[in-house]
Chains A and B, each alone.
Chain A
Amino acid sequence: MFLINCPYCGERDQSEFISGGEAHIARPKQPTELNDDQWAEYLFMRKNIKGIQFERWNHAHGCRKWFNVARDTSNDKIEKIYKMGEQPPKL
């Protein structure tokens, strides 16, 4: 169980958070313009990499804010935490 440094509340136990999967997958602005394949790409396709992965996390049992986490999936080391809307860091 790891520790997550919530950008609004500070460092808390992982049990206070929920994971929201891969980050930076924006909902298409005009879904109706997309064909089935393009929509399926948004809807279903997610990366599952060994190494640094950008993820969304939510402080569900705290401030309930969503934010982004760059986490190394091989050892759960968190490289960077940044707010929603910010660009992913170069790691």
Chain B
Amino acid sequence: MSKNLRINNKQFVDETRKLSFIFNGKKLYGYKGDTLASALLSNDIHLVGRSFKYHRPRGIMTSGSEEPNAILQIGNDDALTDPNVRATEIELYDGLICNSQNCWPSVKFDIGGINNFLSPLLPAGFYYKTFMWPASFWEKYEYFIRKSAGLGKSPTKQDPDMYDHRYMHCDILIVGGGVSGLIAAKIASDDNKKVLLLEDKELLGGSLIYDDNDTSKIDNQKSSEWLKKLIENIKNDKNIIIKTRTSVAAYHNYNFLLARQNLTDHLSVNDRNNKIRQRLYKIRAKKVIISTGAIERPQVFHNNDRPGIMLASAVKKYIDYYGVRCGLENVIFTNNDSAYETALSLHKSGTKLNAIIDIRANSSSEIVNKVKSLGIQIYWNHTVVNTKGYKRINKITIMKLNDNGNDVVGKKIELNCDCLAISGGWTPMVHLFTQSGGKLKFDNKDNIFVPDKTNLNQLSIGSAKGDFELDDVLKNSIKDTKKFLQIENSNFDKIDVKCSKEKEKKNIWLLPSDKPLSKTKPFLDYQNDSTAKDIKLALREGFKSIEHVKRYTTTGMGTDQGKLANMHALGIVADTTNTNMGDLGTTTFRPPYTPLTFGTIVGRNVGQFFDIFRKTPMHDWHVDNNANFENVGQWKRAWYYPKDGESMHDAVQRESKAARESSGILDASTLGKIDIQGTDANEFLNRVYTNAWSKLQIGKCRYGLMLNEDGMVYDDGVTTKIGENHYLMTTTTGGAANVMSKLEDYLQTEWPELDVFLTSVTDHYATASVCGPNAKKIINKIFKDLDLSDESFPHMSFKEVKLGNINCRIMRISFTGELSYEINVEASYGKYIWEKCIEAGKEFNITPYGTETMHLLRAEKGFIIVGQDTDGTMTPVDLQMDWIISKKKYDFIGKRSLYRSDTIREDRKQLVGLLTDDPNEILEEGAQIVKDENRKPVNMLGHVTSSYFSPTLKKSIALAVLKEGKKLKGQKLLVPMIDKTIKVTVSDTVFLDKENERING
């Protein structure tokens, strides 16, 4: 530290704990308690980044979350690095590594800086205007635009950190642990309310905690001393839960708030092992008190963006809290009294203050008089018209304002400075209030938007509500909190507050200059490099709505979301268009208030916890037998079982051949199963399925098709009559939950008179489906006493038998076209019965097959899969399944829709079979079907829905939906692919065993 920038201040910074960190490759030192920003400033580093568009050198400007410039890349690990971290918010830790962003080769010498000289060519809307034409060049432009876009670098590897979510409930949530929030917390707690107090910094107390100003006193004590006692009191209060380093990101309806707590970001990397990095609180509060404070506004003048130009309140905090001088030659530029507190802090710390420039004509408040008495030069009714110093400010030029404040007069005065502290007044932090749906109103006196109407049980207090002076803050916070909580008396009722009162106010959104506006750079949004000129240009070009101006100029769109820029942008628009700011309104405040990491948002829901996955009772067997799995809904289903390095195609060919020639076994446990009981169960089935159920006998099964009320196929499956008034319905795997919901809906809302009870039993039963010519022999080996003759146990029937103590429900039903038995047992016996089948089938080469083979086998038979061959636009007639629509039933769900003018159109898409002229050519599912590929635009007639190579038929087969498909049987059509065109012939949907002989073995 060449310059003496640290002053003795042991209160908040621990000088016994020296920490080293690396900034742009250089090793530097700071202390425990520093932020990265205060540590950099103590090393005389202001220049930390380059601006987004013009690559102008930029320095630390603030001391909080509103920081537009000092956003750095933290860490250099591919997995752990964080872009766009505000140096003003991150607490210094030992070994911190950080780098400047948006500059190359270095922040001190940045090639992109040339943009600054090209800036007259880069006005608002430059990209929109320039890259419009020729349109075909866009691909070439895009590469360069993308390269220059963005600030930091994203991590390239998976985030190894742990994140957490937690729900919290409270009577009163207080957002912001400054003096007003603390008072509200105490009042609420004294009334026996459960209070949750959130503070985004590491310490409670807000800005008053480091206030060393003699002019403000509470109960005759120094205000910071009084506050410290209150904090001690609150820390020991059992009704108050305090979460520090916790920032509210979003305030939603019904007092639902999201807050992010930083748990390890302030620790050295080695101390973070096995700790949760950040936690997201999902808070539901009965009442919310917003005490988020205010942030200081800059002033808008030519070259107001140089490193060394800072908010006056930040300069004060760096001295009073961190013990860091931001410069040795300070000048203050203000339009209000609050900057005079900075003057006193500078004076008290023995830091040179060359002058104060004040745009007001004079002020005679207590605090200003005190500064006057110190002999500090004050230039009343003056403004800064220019600043000098490329990488650090070194001079300013000031001039006198005319009487209207719209021009400058007289001689230029030059002043030396290496730090210019600016203050343009204060803006209440109403972000959360407006996020929650609250409406703002404009306060003409202070030129601020303050909370007005809300539908929620909430209150804004302190400077978040627009009270800026200590006596107003305290007395109104007490009064408003009591009223909000309906409390008569509090321990603060007799509070005695003394503070300086501001007497003169003056605000000029865009300060005049001796140069024409076009020759100046008065920045509004530092991060996005938008200037007052850009706003005026946007207005000239016809953008009137503030939302349009924002988007055209990008004002307020950076990582800081315009926390500093927005009010000036509004002010300049209002002035230029002669509108009242209140009528203009504000742009929308959207969550999050400060950026969240993706890790915080997803919490524990990563890797295997990303989604629930469901496994059948036989799952381990499939794993042991080398199955590959496919996701069906949340289920993991065995897809195919490759042997000795087989490809999927080879495995599926082998599995399906075995199933057709001897025997195969499928885990069908995932099919949805609904137990239906009640005296009206039969009537219910009649109403929900298209076919008739009245005559189904006990012990018989029937295939059913379920429609939506619009007539489109919704689900299908086999339902078995287990007993009088007792049925077991099966549904598709993916549709199970929806079918259950739909049936419950009809029962509860449309047909409450029906005596029917539904129970989902999908998870309660496991199903092994044994098929093939040898299936009967295998089942016979297991169930020796069971009569499997076609007379006793025909196709589409059911038997309940015992295997030892295990109840087995066996259905003789078939989705493959082969003789097939489905054995249902209680889930816990699933693996046992499966292994029993495998053992019994060994001599018949029983072959486990997965979903892919199942799909092939059913496609050979032309059986549809709802959701693959249908897509919510197919009626049973479209599927050529007219046979399943009962003609006799008066009504069923979807019946009326089957003869709407649209559903009876003959040119609807209909399900057909497709055979490729080359039997070895396998169509791609999803491929389009056309008649004439040369006539442009090509008329697409339909698409392939299922396609396989059938080893039994030794040719490729496909199902497709085709416009007027029923009429096109035998027609030759084309399936154009990217590299060739495949010739196909429309066929029947049943490719194998049209006579249905195989189901009898």
Contact = CB atoms under 8 A, between A and B. Distances in A.
B896 interface: yes
A84 B253 contact: no
B745 A2 contact: no
A82 interface: no
Contacts of B598: none
B455 A39 contact: no
Contacts of B710: 43
A32 B745 contact: no
Contacts of B437: 75
A1 B252 contact: yes
B897 A58 contact: no
A64 interface: yes
Contacts of B133: none
A77 B896 contact: no
B171 interface: no
Given A1-B253, A2-B253, A2-B254, A64 B895 contact: no
A76 to B, nearest CB: 5
B150 interface: no
A77 B256 contact: no
B455 A77 contact: yes
A41 interface: no
B601 to A, nearest CB: 15
A32 B891 contact: yes
Contacts, number: 54
Given A31-B891, A75-B455, A60 B741 contact: yes
Given A2-B254, A75-B253, A84-B752, A32 B895 contact: yes
B988 interface: no
Interface in A11-64: 13, 18, 20, 26-28, 30-32, 34, 36, 39-40, 43, 56, 58, 60, 64
B486 interface: no
A65 interface: yes
A76 B750 contact: no
Contacts of A75: 253, 437, 455
A72 B890 CA distance: 39
Nearest to B750: A27
Contacts of B745: 20, 58, 66
Contact of B709 (A32, A43, A58, A84): A43
Contacts of A36: 900-901
- Quick one: which of B256, B284, B749, B900 has the most chain A CB within 10 A? B749
Given A1-B254, A75-B437, A76-B254, A39 B749 contact: no
A10 interface: no
A71 to B, nearest CB: 11
A39 B748 contact: no
Contacts of B891: 30-32
B741 A43 contact: no
B467 to A, nearest CB: 28
A26 B750 contact: yes
A31 B893 CA distance: 10
Contacts of A40: 900
Contacts of B896: 28, 31-32, 34, 39
Interface residues of B, number: 23
Nearest to B896: A31
B925 interface: no
B454 to A, nearest CB: 10
A76 B897 CA distance: 34
A58 to B, nearest CB: 7
A90 B284 CA distance: 30
A30 B891 CA distance: 8
A31 B891 CA distance: 7
Nearest to A68: B749
Contact of A39 (B744, B890, B897): B897
A65 B895 contact: no
A74 B672 CA distance: 39
A65 B748 contact: yes
B900 A39 contact: yes
Contacts of A30: 891
Contacts of B895: 31-32
B749 A84 contact: yes
A43 B709 CA distance: 7
Contact of B256 (A1, A34, A43, A60): A1
Interface in B385-426: none
A65 B710 CA distance: 24
Contact of B890 (A28, A32, A58): A32
A26 B752 CA distance: 12
A27 to B, nearest CB: 5
Contacts of A43: 709-710, 897
Contacts of B253: 1-2, 75-76
- Quick one: which of A18, A27, A65 has the most chain B CB within 10 A? A27
Interface of A: 1-3, 13, 18, 20, 26-28, 30-32, 34, 36, 39-40, 43, 56, 58, 60, 64-66, 75-77, 84-85
Interface of B: 252-254, 256, 284, 437, 455, 709-710, 741, 744-745, 748-750, 752, 890-891, 895-897, 900-901
Q: Which 10 residue pairs across A and B have the least CB separation, nearest first?
A: A31-B896, A2-B254, A66-B748, A27-B750, A1-B256, A75-B455, A76-B253, A3-B254, A39-B896, A66-B749
15 contacts: A1-B256, A2-B254, A3-B284, A31-B895, A32-B891, A39-B897, A39-B900, A43-B897, A58-B741, A64-B744, A66-B744, A66-B749, A75-B455, A84-B748, A84-B752
Given A32-B891, A66-B745, 14 more contacts: A1-B254, A2-B253, A2-B256, A3-B254, A26-B750, A28-B896, A32-B890, A34-B896, A39-B897, A43-B709, A58-B741, A58-B745, A60-B741, A66-B744
